[in-house]
Amino acid sequence: MKTIVVACGAGVATSTIIVDRLHNLLSKHDIKAKIIQCNLGEIDSYSRYADLIVSSMKLNKTFEIPSITGISFITGIGQEETEISIINCLRT
């Protein structure tokens, strides 16, 4: 099982929308994953246990695991490309 960290500024509004979209995407591709929802300041504490970070904004820090900006789940613009990137990260 994979672990995904989903983060936004406060860990509430946009991350909740991204988590919902991720659940649908993972279900559609039959991928089992644990999703951890948090604010940007909490990413460090979860990243060492995770396989992927999806954030609502571009991160100013790099991590040892892949990170993807998931704002397209909010706007709808470029969502298909974001979904492909997420699936590719989780299938490796």
Point out the residues that are catalytic: 8
List, in sequence order, every beta strand (DSSP E) within 1-92.
2-8, 33-39, 52-55, 67-69
Q: Which residue is listed with tokens 């994953």?
A: 33
Phi-psi region of 24 (alpha: psi -120 to 50; beta: other; left: phi over 0): alpha
CA distance 7 to 61: 13
Query: Is residue 74 within 8 Å of residue 18, measured between CB atoms?
Result: yes
